[in-house]
Structure 1
Amino acid sequence: MSRGHKQRQWVKPASAPNSEINVTPLVDVVLVLLIIFMVVTPLLEKDILVRVPETEVEENQPPPEPDDQQIVVQVDKSGAYSINTEQIPASDYVARLKRMLNAKKPDEKVVFFMADDAANYGKLVVALDGARAAGAKILGMATELPQNAVIQGTQATPDGAPPAPPAPPTP
């Protein structure tokens, strides 16, 4: 053999190539995902079920005028109750509401509630429970007063807000 020419040597592998999948990383990933789902699943089950009423779109029909026979309970920011703008002590609330509801037909026992934004939530819940105990079949929440509603002796403005105090007279 000559020195300038090298003979190629083929190296035969000692074993055949490994064609199997390495499952150790796969098992690690699956276990991590399992732990994540085990931690997250209990957090997803803490939902509050809320029954939302379906809405119907009525075109160009004015809302019905408020009825004098409707019962509207207001809870002001101090926690005092009013039934149809008449201030009621908390001790007489359920009895007065029961008398008003007993005069109505069973399908007309509806009470609407309006709470001041600064009112205590617990006072509103007590008012709702008291109305249910007095015999109300349907409880409704009002978000804004009708245009001709009276808020404790003052006439409401068309946008539903209480009127501004009168300006002092100029001399």
Structure 2
Amino acid sequence: MGVLEAIRSRGNDLRPQAEINVTPLVDVMLVLLIVFMVTAPMLTAGLPVDLPKATTAHPLERSEPIVVTLDRDGNAQLGDKGVAVDGLGDAILTLTAGDRTRAIHVRADRECRHGALVAVLDQLGAHGLSRIAILTERAPGVRAPRQDDKPRDSR
């Protein structure tokens, strides 16, 4: 029974309205949606690193890679969990159930020591993991190389 019908009825037969007001529910849901949209990109970041620039970098294939991150102090992180460099190969093989064909992306900070990066690559190679890519950022204003571009002879 609507409000007008209750007023028009004779006597004091005012009963509570049996309809749900969904406006506050919609407001809360929209606020939650905005909060999740803002925070979702921050959850996938991991360690903050400053990637070096490369002009000849080619785009990688679109599969779900395993991401190894090295910060400037040489601390390693596998996905979002910290791991010791000497246990990195075993941790990856455990994560992939022994699959050695998965792509591994190494994100190393520009200020990371060369020896720390070599230690990670050596650890991966010792466990038979050979599909390794070292991630870089493209230098601004540089044209992306095409697959048919041939290296120029420096002579």
User: Which protein has greater RCO, CA pairs closer than 8 Å, 6+ apart?
Assistant: 2
TM-score with structure 2 length normalisation?
A: 0.44
Larger radius of gyration: 1
